[in-house]
Structure 1
């Protein structure tokens, strides 16, 4: 499952991944082999552990026909014709491309035909490693070598920054979904020291292989799995009722997680807004209670 989705496909979902991956995993098991899931986001890995995702795509009544590669079809045309067609839909892009560069011309036309826009920054191209090099890619052959080198370095620095942010989000996901509230199907999580690239084999490769080999051989690995620190006074059987969300929560940790959840905070915000509106209405009524109605005489005695 590497490089099997066309970059222009924008409706590929985690459900599609789950369905295809599960079929392959079952096939590997049927051959008495052990499947190893490598790479990808934790969200996709989670889809293999908890089968809670629902396929919402409409199923066609007939089997799909063969998929044709539109770019290959376009490349069969003459370069001058491709350049003429591109000039009609995107003159700016056509001006950057030579009529002999049939591959890029066909690619540009394919993007326009399938998306209606001349912009490849959608779908898989929103992934880290693509959009950071947009300026460098579109300027290829249209600027000096010095400018091209600067744009390349700019893309590399942007890639490093977004990768660091992504790594922090992934670590947070692991803590919240795999460590804080582990379910019965969650495997142990092992941490590896990856900060020193020069010690990759000693700190990453060797211990990772030892963990995998231990699993295959049915013995405890030499490394200890990562565990979240918890309060010894924590009550896993505590019983609380959230009247705001109309839910029963079991366990101190689950209650703490619930009070931080988006659903609870949404209901809390909604209630506070209603209370503020009620107070404002009450204040308005109180301030008008002692006012005299125009045309009525005051009951105060004359001096």
Structure 2
């Protein structure tokens, strides 16, 4: 048997928020004896369930879910942490003769795992990072992003201008090592990915329908108690640093501060979520081997089931 056939098989389910990734992945897990590895960077945290649209026990339907709801909100977690833990899980799930299903909207997590990206020990300098953060506050994030575009246009093209942590990290790396982040990422990928993978991405052909689904999800989150979670994050924003920057919580901070009405904050959250969905779509569309399922045009579960069946028989 050649090396290609020996590689574990992994199915990924990605795409923008509010497209039904949870229900599809559970259906696939039931059909193919699968276990789900969460690939959402916020659903890892305990106490934060409504605002992250975490699958409820009822929605999980008894299917094993890994890397879900397991960390305290004050603990940082990186893509390197995810790839290390998820790689170990793929090996164990495969050894049980179950199918690993990697599911979530954090595209960086999914593609880093499927591509076998290795992470060198992080080189950092707190002094440089603090100076860059101060420059961002004084000059605005646009100035730092423009600097990154000049230094490393390839990486800047993948990063949203407002994603300050990633912009600062790339500039910090360059100042420390004179090495571009795009070069480091390219050299960190093996010649052959570690898995045979099928990446399914859910979306709507009609963008207006996707936005309507997002608006409905936000309304449901408010009805289900997201305010209590948002207030918890707001009161602990110095400790819950990741959550304090997350869509779903920070939009309500002006309400708790008495600066905006609940309706204004809810509208702001809908807009921020729609913008995030656009960024998710852009990320997954850059993955050339992704197979797109349009939930407004076809029976996504049936097509996904047929695709996975063919993938496992190949």
Indicate the structure whose relative CO is greater, using CA pairs within 8 Å and at least 6 residues apart: 2
Alignment TM-score, normalising by the size of structure 2? 0.38
Structure number with greater Rg is: 1
The structure with the greater share of residues assigned to strand is: 2
Alignment TM-score, normalising by the size of structure 1? 0.39
